[in-house]
Each structure stands twice: as C-alpha cells, then as structure tokens.
A and B are shown apart, each in its own frame.
Chain A
Amino acid sequence: MKHMFSFIVCFCLLVPPVVVAETNIMESATPLPGMRGTPLNLPDISVVGVLDGHVSDDKTDSAKDRLELSDVETAFQGYIYPEMRADVFLAIHRHDGEYEAEICEAKASFLHLADGLGGEAGKIHVNFGKLNRIHEHHRPMIDQPLVLTNFFGDHGLVGQGGTLNYLMPLPFFLQFEGGAWRVAGHHPHVSEDVETTQVTDVNGNVVDVAIYEEEPCTEFSLADEVYTGRAKTSFAPTAKSELEIGGSIAQGRGGHYEEHLDKAQVVGADMTFRFWPTAYRRWTFQNEWMHLRREVPVGILHRQGGYSFLQCRLNKYWDVGARFDYADNAFPDKVIERSGSAIVGYHLTETSDLRIQAKRRRVGDDDISEGWVRMTFGIGPHSHELE
C-alpha cells in the first residue's frame, strides 16, 4: 500500500499535468496605441503605402496615364513621458516624377499642461479648417480640394513650431487653438541638367552660365513666420447626429516674400454635419470656405474658394460621395477654377482601402477630365488623433 502511494505520488510529480487551458486571464489593462511595440520598449511602428493611377485629357499634365507608388509613410508612435507622446511620420513620395524623402510630421504632444490645456511642438500639419490636418491617405477623397492647393500648396499648410489648445470648461464642446510656425515656402524644382551657354564677362573671360526658361509661377503657399488660430465648436442635435462649426485664421507672408512685398492672410470657416441613421450607414455633409488677402506690389488681392462634400457610407465597406470645388488662384492675373467629383471607396481595414474618383474641372475657359484610382495599404498599428 505504501509502495503504491509512493508510486502514485512519483507519477504525479513526473508526468506533467494535461493542461486544457482554453482561457487566459487578462492581467493588465489593454495597452494604448503607442504602447504596442514588441519588444516592449519599442514604439508602435507602421507603414502605409499609396499606389496611384491617374488619367487625364490635360496634355500638359506630366503625371497623367501612370500607375505608380506615390507615397510610402512610416510612422513611429509612442509615449515619451506620462501624458506626453511623440508621433513621427517619415514619408517618401513622388513629386514631379522623382522620389523625395521628407519628414511629413514629427511632433511631441502634451496631453495635459493644465486643466483643459494641451499643446504640440514640432513639424505639424497645421490645424486649419477640416482637411488640412488630415494626412492625404486618411482623407475620404483622392485629390486635394482646389482651395487648399491654391492657398497652401500641394501638401497643405505644414509648419515647424508649436501650438496650444484649450478646451473651454463649458457644457458643450468649444476649443480654441493658437500656433506660431515657420513655414517653408514653395521653391520651384530646378533640374540639375540645365542647359548652359558661354558668355564673356566684364573682365573678358569666357564663362559658362545656366539658361533658365522664364515660366510663370503657378504655385503659392504661405511662408516664413506664420501665426494661426482656430476656434471649433460642436453640438449633437440628436443622439445620431453631430454638427461641427469652426473658424480659422493664418497670418504671415506669401511664398514670394524674398523677391517682393508679399503679405498674406487666410481666413476660413467650416461646417460639418454627420448623421448615422443605422449602425453602419453615415451621411457626411462637409463644407469649407476660405478667403485670401494678399498684399503684393501691384496691390491688394482678394481671393476666395471652398468646397462642398457630400458622402454616404452605405455599409461597413462601401462609401460614395460627391464634391464641388470653387477656387480663385492666388495671383494678380485672376483665374477661376471649378470642378465636380464623384468618389467611390471600398474599405478593407482601417488603414487599407480602394478608392476611385472621377473629376471634371474647368480652368478659365478650358474643361479637363481626370480620373484616379488609389489603393492604400497599411501594416502595423497606425493611428491619428481625433479629427
């Protein structure tokens, strides 16, 4: 009996127990975005790629009839201190036929400086209006609305500096924000393979000089020191709807300030109404309007533009939308552009989707038809702040 007991004890000790462990106990809170990296001391790392196809009947469009990788964005996101996080977005994108690397955004965010007060510092997509702050791959459209391109440039208003925002202690949402920035103005891309010619200088020496063709400048953006402000309020008229109203201002210089007098101010207003009739269906009606006041040697220019965007998310995967654009250019020789777009999107995941957009644009008296197809794919935990 004693031997039998010893045998059973030894058997139990030697033979590992059969574990039918279907369940694991959750021992700590789910880590926040920014705390996901493995090993544990790494930030969240993700990559978003954008593949674009573009067709156009505009003979001067150098990017037409192409299907190419237009953008790859890598993100490194994590907490650097309690209530302080860092988000770095590095991008390689195609510009004028060549790939360029740039810091798309790199910022430290102070989530709680005082009650209701937060801030950000670094290179940031400035919080002006509704769309400027949102990275292109995250927008519900492929191209950028004309008014943003005409007043802020191809990549929108991006500055290096800092911003403070204050959420008012009121029963409804009202937030004020002020920022100071240094903005790189638009510099025309000059090819290194420029033609040269030989001329005789004042000392009688023969020297090589480059030949540049005089081309009218068609791009404008704010530049140098820029100060911005934004107020935004929001109401929920019903449990299934939300109305957001905002006003923005940017004060600074125009991109040509080094060559001549160029003071600029942009004032904007935006209104977004969203309605969720069912769990997945959502209607979005978004509108932005901007006014540019530009002081140049020939006088003071007043230009304006805006867009109106209506979108319906039909179900969990599909959305359809339409956008109407109107925008003046920012130059003394005033040109008005109008366009209408139809947009269809299919969502695979939060960071991966397919989108098609058809657009009819009128510039002055010319009509241009364009179309895009875009596939955006994301790998890893990629997050953006509340839009």
Chain B
Amino acid sequence: MSSITINGEAHEFSGDPNMPLLWYVRDMLNLTGTKFGCGAGVCGACTVHLDGVAVRSCQTTLGEAAGKTVTTIEGLSPDGEHAVQQAWRKISVPQCGFCQSGQIMQAASLLAKNRAPSDAEIVEAMSGNICRCGCYQRIHEAVRLAAGGV
C-alpha cells in the first residue's frame, strides 16, 4: 500500500506499482483532464507535476510517485485562474485543445522555477509538447505573457 497526494487529496494505492500515473488518474480516479497522446513520453499531452516539476505521467510509475505530491490540470488552480491559464485564454491559444492540458502544465512548471524565461528557454522547455494543430506561435506568446504577469 502506498500513498500519493493528488491535487491535495491523499490516495492509497495497492495495485501494480509499475502502472503509469496517467492511467491511474484517468481510469481509476476519473481525472480526465490529463491526456493520453503517445504512451512513450514523446508528446507531452500527459504532463502533470510531480512535487511541482513537470513530468510525463505516461512514463512515471505509481511506484515512483509514491509518497510524493501530484498536481494535474484539475488541481493547477482552484478557480482555473492560474497565470498560465489566463494567458492561454487571453491569446486564444487552443484549436482542438487536446494537447493544451499538457502544454499548460509544462508552461506552469517552467514559470515556477524561472519567472522570466528567455525565448530560448521557453523553446527548450516546450519542445517536448507536440501540438498537431500548430498553436506554437500562440503558445510561445502566452508563456511570455504569463511570465510578465497577465
């Protein structure tokens, strides 16, 4: 039995410790904001925070998450008003929207450790997150906006 805190709530888990966190939050906790995109850690759609740092939940096992704190898109802000979420809306970033939970979690993690990232740092941090609709220009702009205070 191990304990994981997800969005401020403690969860006891006794199943397969190799199960990726992604499937635990989606299929067992019904937190469906975190998306399955590739299952290989190469698209970023499933990005969540583990102790405040962006990780790919499809590559993070429950064993690795045990005893730690997980934040999903649902828990990023109690009212959905995190600076990154506000910036995303102000710039009208999304098209289909599917990758955006992951993009937002990735951007929020970047800004948590670097309040004023350079363009190169934004690109480096965000390049693991694919957007097939091609919202990159607006993602870049929104991260800059969030960094500057919306």
Q: Do A and B come from one complex?
A: no
| Interface positions of B (Cβ within 8 A of A) | none
